[in-house]
Structure 1
Amino acid sequence: MQTNYFAAIDLKSFYAAVECIDRGLDMFSTPLVVCDESRGDGTIVLAVSPCLRNKGVPSRLRKYELPKDEDIIFAKPRMGRYLEVSAKFNALLLDYVGDDDLHIYSVDECFINLGPYLKMYQTSPRTLVKTILTDIYETFGLVASAGIGPNMFLAKVAMDIEAKHAPDNIATWTYADVESKLWPITPLSKLWGIASGYERKLNNLGIMCVGDLAAYPKAKLKHHFGVMGVQLWEHAHGIDQTNIREKYTPTSTSLSQGQTLFRDYTKKEAQLLIREMNDDLARRLRARKCQAAGVSISVIYADRSKKADGGSLTLMRPSTHNNELYEAIMNIYAKKIKNLPIRGLYISYTNLSEHTHYQFDLFSNHEQKLSELSLYAMIDKIKYKYGLNSLMRASSLCSASNARKRHDEIGGHAR
């Protein structure tokens, strides 16, 4: 008898739905898109209402690709509002299950371990999920879809492939459905976990659908893709060993920050942006009580036919010092980056370790270094208490600067 039941829940057209609800509009009859139209025709549309989705408008496109014959409402992204609603949505779910049995996958999607609660509620997986979806709608006005399965993978695929088109927005898959429902899926990129890059590589091996993937020798997939190949084979057979109660602890030894620019910057102008990004990243580094032993930078040129440039550098000793980290990045920048218009900047600190002390060298002014580190610590405290724009470099007033604007955004969009 099956005892493991998982649900994957997704809020339909979440950003667009929130904008419609806040305006008192019906998302199924209102042609609304979440897009900052002030950024020009090339700006990305973050979400479209179900009304437009039902007319064939994709969920991800650029403004100039929107249909011209629709009287579309443009809603400027409000990331703070979406995070607020998402937090309330997650709190509602915790009325039904414990924290250990809830996995937040994204701002509008989650997984729930249903198994431990079926006896307590004396109900079936489908009835419990339907109760949760009804509560979500009655509380927030949001429509959600859900997939139910014996593991997280099958629940997610059931939601993506079937539930979003089901009359009650719920689909249940079991291991018995693998051959009839999972294996026919094509193209492969429709399957959770397979991006376009992997799809091309699999297609080159003659693997066009999930059934082909299931039939391909496991050892050969491991040879081509390593541990990912084993996971692909297991997923193709409906196998997922993930334990929702084993919470992921990040093991990353790097910190990074990047931005896509809305105009061309000269190589000289971009130095100011790198300085600002470095200040923000150094503050985050110190907040984590870490130090960096390496830095890297990558630059995207305005002319996309030009290959991105960049490089990395190992420091003589780990550091948390803004200027030391910036000078290392600029060392790469001066040597590796061409004098061409720039549209993207990405910097990283690498080989992070716990910061317990500062290591001086024989040639530095130790008193000056200590004074600067104390200054950075004080600036960090002020920014933490009063906000990132409370204390800025004078260069933030320059026309090329965008630090103040970035600090007022979440994920590159207005709060």
Structure 2
Amino acid sequence: MDAFFAAIEQLKRPELRGKPVIVGGDPDGRGVVAACSYEARAYGIHSAMPMTQAKRRCPHAVCLPGDMKTYASYSKRVKAILDRYTPLVEPVSVDEAFLDVTGCERLFGEPEEIARKIKADVLAETGLTCSVGIAPNRFLAKLASDLEKPDGLVELTLEDAKGRLRELPVSRIWGVGKVGREKLETMGIFRIGQLQDAPLDLLEKTFGNQTESLRAMAFGRGSEIVEPPGRAKSVSNETTFEEDTADEKLMRDVLRWLAERVARRMRRGRYRGRTITLKLRFSDFKTITRSATVSHYTDSGPEIGRTVTELFERVELGGRKVRLLGVGVGNLETAYSQLTLYDDGDKQQKLDETMDSIRDRFGEDAVTRGVKVTWRDTYLE
């Protein structure tokens, strides 16, 4: 979808059309840009930019807090349109999805015709535009969809991908974030064409076993598999502090509180997991993650909390202040297939079920497990 959140706001309020619109957190606080209209992008504003910076770049922009309930409703309507054309639809986010239309030609025509029908249906039924990329794999399809936004339709084949990619910045390759881009630029590689021409041995010295996939994408090769949603791959929660903090006791309390929330969501979804992950973002926006895999599957808040706290203890803060903390659990299995062999596990499960029942009736904070939440209104956004 094109500037999805902002486009919906302009659709709801026609007087905003043609104006720079920013959807995000408090423009005078510590929020970030969730989405912005193309008029706002002309000022260099982009998602994840601090709202204060966005307002400095475009003081006359219209800043809105967002309406996730409405955005989710539009997302479902778009998803229903996509489902008409193929059962193989893989949502990537609320405003993006991959489709595999192999075998649908006899019903709906060639891929380009299907793309045009989808674009027309989305516009007619939602009033919104979308951009479509057609390609033999996910990476190229995603890249193609971004080339001529808004309201674009671009087809890329493997044969023409090499030439089309050459002048694009290396940051357009999946997995090349800030650190990867800086490493490539240190090697004198700024554009994908330079990466295509770079000697393999030079790349391997820096990227090791990632070199093969990096080079493959530089030539337009990638995964062709579209995976419709099934069971969750991970469950996570994160929170941003109202003010950056170096208070380690506070951070441990927040991590245990997040662990309880993650565990409750897992039990609600009937999941247990083994891989527990800590996410930590410093005041300079540098983000690190640390993970540990335990010996058995768990949906226990205290166990997740202990593990993530141990991971936190290994991080050398060096007096740096922290902006955001997150807790996640991956490597999931359905909980009803897991049976405990220990009495303590049975007791813990009964306690969790009792606490869940109380929270269902009286609210999330009606009962807690040795974690004070009175600090939340003061320290968290």
Residues 1:103 and 1:378: Cα distance change in structure 2 (over 3 Å)? same
Secondary structure of 1:261 counterpart: strand
Structure 1 residue 145: Cα displacement: 1.4
Partner of 1:262: 242
Contact 2:86 2:99 in 1 (8 A): no
For the aligned residues, what is the CA RMSD?
A: 4.1
Partner of 1:4: none
Contact 2:35 2:47 in 1 (8 A): yes
> Which residues of 2 match residues 337-356 of structure 1 at below 5 A?
342-348=322-328, 355-356=338-339
Partner of 2:258: 277
Determine which of 75, 78, 94 is the counterpart of 1:86: 75
Matched, 1:109 2:96: yes
Secondary structure of 2:376 counterpart: coil
More displaced, 227-236 or 387-396?
387-396
Residues 1:105 and 1:291: Cα distance change in structure 2 (over 3 Å)? closer
Distance 2:167 2:278 in 1: 43
Residues 1:335 and 1:160: Cα distance change in structure 2 (over 3 Å)? closer
Partner of 1:379: 355
Residues 1:225 and 1:373: Cα distance change in structure 2 (over 3 Å)? same
Partner of 2:3: 13
Partner of 1:391: 366
Distance 2:273 2:165 in 1: 45
Residues 1:382 and 1:227: Cα distance change in structure 2 (over 3 Å)? farther
Residues 1:202 and 1:248: Cα distance change in structure 2 (over 3 Å)? farther
Partner of 1:142: 128
Partner of 1:363: none
1:99-141 residue CA offsets vs partner (Å, 9 max, x unmatched) = 22x22222111222334223323x4433332221121112111
1:310-364 residue CA offsets vs partner (Å, 9 max, x unmatched) = 988887987654445545655676797788865333345578776411525xxxx
Distance 2:288 2:271 in 1: 27
Partner of 2:210: 228
Distance 2:289 2:160 in 1: 48
1:256-308 residue CA offsets vs partner (Å, 9 max, x unmatched) = 43322112453344444233222212323444656566866565565x59x99
Contact 1:147 1:155 in 2 (8 A): yes
Distance 2:117 2:295 in 1: 59
Contact 2:33 2:46 in 1 (8 A): no
Contact 2:20 2:39 in 1 (8 A): yes
Contiguous gaps of at least 5 residues in structure 2? none
> Which residues of 2 match residues 159-174 of structure 1 at below 5 A?
159-161=145-147, 163-164=148-149, 169-174=152-157
Secondary structure of 2:193 counterpart: helix
Code of the residue aligned with 2:218 in structure 1: it is A
Partner of 2:160: 177
Secondary structure of 1:389 counterpart: coil
Residues 1:217 and 1:208: Cα distance change in structure 2 (over 3 Å)? same
Number of aligned residues:
375
Partner of 1:30: 19
Secondary structure of 1:110 counterpart: strand
Contact 2:355 2:367 in 1 (8 A): no
Contact 1:256 1:347 in 2 (8 A): yes
Distance 2:41 2:212 in 1: 35
Secondary structure of 1:128 counterpart: helix
More displaced, 341-350 or 233-242?
341-350
Structure 1 residue 377: Cα displacement: 0.8
1:160-203 residue CA offsets vs partner (Å, 9 max, x unmatched) = 22x216xx622222334224321222x21133442222222233
> Which residues of 2 match residues 297-312 of structure 1 at below 5 A?
304=284
Distance 2:265 2:183 in 1: 37
Secondary structure of 1:346 counterpart: strand
User: Sequence identity, in percent?
Assistant: 22
Residues 1:44 and 1:308: Cα distance change in structure 2 (over 3 Å)? closer
Contact 1:136 1:143 in 2 (8 A): yes
Structure 1 residue 14: Cα displacement: 0.6
Residues 1:41 and 1:347: Cα distance change in structure 2 (over 3 Å)? closer
Code of the residue aligned with 2:117 in structure 1: it is T
Distance 2:319 2:43 in 1: 45
Residues 1:221 and 1:72: Cα distance change in structure 2 (over 3 Å)? closer
Partner of 2:86: 98
1:195-222 residue CA offsets vs partner (Å, 9 max, x unmatched) = 2222222333443322222233457646
Contiguous gaps of at least 5 residues in structure 1? 1-10, 361-365, 407-411
Residues 1:34 and 1:270: Cα distance change in structure 2 (over 3 Å)? same
Pick the structure with greater CA Rg. 1
Structure 1 residue 250: Cα displacement: 7.6
Contact 1:148 1:171 in 2 (8 A): yes
Contact 1:294 1:349 in 2 (8 A): yes
Contact 1:267 1:339 in 2 (8 A): no
More displaced, 313-322 or 278-287?
313-322
Residues 1:387 and 1:220: Cα distance change in structure 2 (over 3 Å)? farther
1:237-270 residue CA offsets vs partner (Å, 9 max, x unmatched) = 22234222x5587896x75433221124533444
Partner of 1:198: 180
